[in-house]
Amino acid sequence: MVHDGSHTRQRAGRQPSDAGAVQLPTWAQALCWCGALGLIYLLSRAVSIISRGFAEVGGDAAYTMFAFAAHPWVGLSVGVLGTA
């Protein structure tokens, strides 16, 4: 930064947000993206396993378990207890 009187201006090529930033190598960025995609895949598999579990219990049993939960907080607590 250059101070000239009451105004402050940036030097060419420097951004204030770049002050403490560290640029990762390309291979590390690719590894991070692969890890994120892997976690999304694991999440989709976990949802699939839970849905198969409800299907095996039976559609009627799952419906009656969640039918009385009209309030969102009650629904959340029933969902947590139902999957525990």
Q: Please tell me whether residue 5 adopts helix, strand or coil conformation.
A: coil
Cα gap 14→18, rounded to integer Å? 7
Entry pTM: 0.47
Residue 38 has a CB neighbour count (10 Å cut-off) of 10
Q: State pLDDT tens for residues 23-75.
A: 989 999 999 999 999 999 999 999 888 878 777 777 676 666 666 666 777 77
Cα gap 70→61, rounded to integer Å? 17
CB of 37 within 8 A of CB of 45?
A: no
The pLDDT of residue 42 is: 95
